[in-house]
Copies of this chain bind each other. A is one copy, B any other.
């Protein structure tokens, strides 16, 4: 297998959430890659994730449907790019399954900017060093994502993930 590239975040274009969590990385990985688990933590309450489809291969689908407290649904479809078991998970919303370039995103809050996300997991004592890197194409997209509440949103989702993993 070819060695993986190193991701150097660009503060002008990227957003980063890094944290140590007290659950083993194999379970964090499972929470990210199994629809039944992911649906339990992926969206900060009172939002919910009502559907999820995962084909864990490069070019495979990563699809979620989020539902607002008012009952409006926001589907999102992307494609996995790189999968290093328990270590690194990469997907993007600029490619649809099979690496097909996406059509311009529909006017919906969860899909108004293009990004690639990189989840990196390292063992840390009995826990995990968790890093989420979100890569944007321009400063405007980064800013929009930040203003939508990236840190709170991804942070709360991670709290929920840890709680779900502890009940596994």
Contact = CB atoms under 8 A, between A and B. Distances in A.
Nearest to A83: B2
Interface stretch (A21-29, A53-61, A153-161): A53-61
Given A94-B94, A95-B116, A81 B59 contact: yes
Interface of A: 1-5, 7-8, 13, 55-60, 81-83, 90, 92, 94-103, 114-116, 118, 135-138, 141
19 contacts: A1-B1, A5-B55, A5-B57, A5-B60, A5-B97, A58-B58, A59-B81, A59-B82, A92-B95, A92-B101, A94-B101, A96-B137, A99-B116, A99-B118, A100-B135, A101-B114, A101-B115, A102-B137, A103-B138
Given A2-B83, A96-B137, 9 more contacts: A5-B58, A5-B59, A5-B60, A13-B100, A59-B81, A81-B81, A101-B137, A102-B137, A103-B137
A103 B102 CA distance: 14
Q: Which of A7, A82, A103: most chain B Cβ within 10 A? A: A82
